[in-house]
Amino acid sequence: MTGLLEGKNVLVTGAANPRSIAWAVALAIKKHGGSVALTYQAERLRRRVQSLADELGEAPLIECDVSSDQAVRRAIDELAELMPVLDGMVHSIAWAPAEDLQGSFAQTSRAGFAQANDISSYSLIATAREARRLMTRGGGIVTMTYAGSWRVVPNYNVMGPAKASLESAVRYLAADLGPDGIRVNAVSAGPIATVAARTIKDFSGMLELLESHTPLRRNVTSEEVADATVFLLSDLSRAITGEVVHVDAGAHATI
Ligand code: NAD
Ligand code: 0WE
């Protein structure tokens, strides 16, 4: 494979299982010559993510619950012992209470809104702040977003404003970290049947509709999202920052 990421160290957050977008990203980084460290949310996921880390070959594996500033700081301190310099960070984390992902949007709870924004948007700021300490030769930060940020998608509900907030944070972080040679971008992926997504009502109906209506007449895969992420982490995208790249078979332009 190409050595697009040869010599680069990348921290990948959000791998929970082999279907996670973050896992496809980790594999793609390795394929292009990069070294990966993984973080996982909580002890209950450790064994599963350990076997993913083993598959990568001795990838550093660190617990990091992004709802705590202290936990994020400690995770990066721990990473610094194993990977003193970081060239990239991938943020692939989102969460909202299940009851706020259905029904009337006006019924969104104050607590659900706060949690969705905390875990799905503020966590990019917290992880970027800490990762920056190790990104001493510049680098790339990439987060995962969805078009429900700017258009109404039935049931995406509270996650819509959370993703809008995330995409705005991408631009503010790009402006703030740019002078240090750190670029910040997002990949806006089309729907993919990951474990989190499959629990959503009529997710398969949505995939079927897209199959006949996107410009490319198909859905996208995690591998395709991962390839775009590799591009955004690599020097090929060295003049791109504050951008949201749609990897959605063209859906954003037509549907
Ligand atoms: P996933 O469930 O595999 O990944 C979500 C991850 O978030 C999990 O690893 C989970 O452990 C982590 N997480 C949740 N709360 C956390 C916390 N407090 N601390 C640390 N980690 C926490 O699902 P996925 O589909 O791979 O989602 C990854 C990203 O891709 C999300 O940002 C999602 O919004 C985005 N995305 C997904 C799709 C899709 O259709 N699957 C489309 C566009 C964007
Ligand atoms: O960002 C997402 C989903 C993230 C997500 C998923 C869950 C399921 C389990 C956040 N929080 C939770 N909370 C849970 O309890 N996507 C882009 C995938 C997704 O979710 C949808 C979609 C798409 C696409 C929900 C409704 C409609 C479309």
Where are the alpha helices (H) located in the chain, listed in sequence order?
21-31, 46-56, 69-82, 110-117, 123-132, 159-177, 195-198, 203-213, 222-233, 251-254
- pLDDT for the residue numbered 200: 87
Q: In this model, does residue 1 exceed pLDDT 80?
A: no
Please give the distance, rounded to the nearest whole angstrom, from the Cα atom of residue 227 to the centre of ligand 1.
Answer: 18
Give this prediction's pTM.
0.98
Most informative mutation of 104, 119, 144, 146 for ligand 2 (most atoms within 8 A of CB): 146
Please compute, for residue 62, the number of CA atoms within 13 A of its CA located in the half-sphere on the CB side: 22
**Which residues form the domain of 210?**
9-247
In a domain, 3, yes or no: no
Count of structural domains within the chain: 1
Percent of the chain's residues with pLDDT above 90:
95
In a domain, 1, yes or no: no
Shortest-distance atom of ligand 2 to CA 155:
26
Please give the distance, rounded to the nearest whole angstrom, from the Cα atom of residue 16 to the centre of ligand 1.
Answer: 8
Give 104-158 pLDDT, tens digit per residue: 999 999 999 999 999 999 999 999 999 999 999 999 999 999 999 999 999 999 9
In a domain, 254, yes or no: no
In a domain, 92, yes or no: yes
Mean pLDDT (whole number) for 238-255: 97
Give 192-242 pLDDT, tens digit per residue: 999 988 888 889 999 999 999 999 999 999 999 999 999 999 999 999 999
Mark whether 156 is an active-site residue: yes
Ligand 1 pocket, residues with Cβ under 6 angstroms = 14-16, 20-22, 41, 65-67, 92-95, 119, 144-146, 189, 191-192, 194-197
| Residue whose tokens read 């610094």 | 80
**CATH number for the domain that contains residue 154:** 3.40.50.720
In a domain, 79, yes or no: yes
Long-range interactions of 199-202: CB distance < 8 A, separation 24+: 199/98, 200/101, 200/155, 201/102, 201/155, 202/155
In a domain, 252, yes or no: no
Protein residue whose Cα sits closest to atom 3 of ligand 2: 197
Mean pLDDT (whole number) for 34-54: 97
- pLDDT for the residue numbered 201: 84
How confident is residue 55, by pLDDT bands cut at 50, 70 and 90? very high
- Determine whether the shortest distance from the Cβ of 207 to ligand 2 is under 6 A: no
In a domain, 218, yes or no: yes
Round the CA-based radius of gyration of the chain to a whole number and report it.
17
Mean pLDDT (whole number) for 30-56: 97
How confident is residue 60, by pLDDT bands cut at 50, 70 and 90? very high
Q: In this model, does residue 182 exceed pLDDT 80?
A: yes
The distance from CA 34 to its chain's CA centroid, rounded to whole angstroms, is: 17
Dihedrals φ, ψ of 163, to 5°? -75, -30
Give 67-92 pLDDT, tens digit per residue: 999 999 999 999 999 999 999 999 99
In a domain, 170, yes or no: yes
Residues 61, 54: Cα–Cα separation, whole Å: 9
Mean pLDDT (whole number) for 9-27: 98
Most informative mutation of 121, 144, 166, 200 for ligand 2 (most atoms within 8 A of CB): 200
Please give the distance, rounded to the nearest whole angstrom, from the Cα atom of residue 13 to the centre of ligand 1.
Answer: 9
Structure tokens belonging to residue 95: 């969460």
- Determine whether the shortest distance from the Cβ of 125 to ligand 2 is under 6 A: no
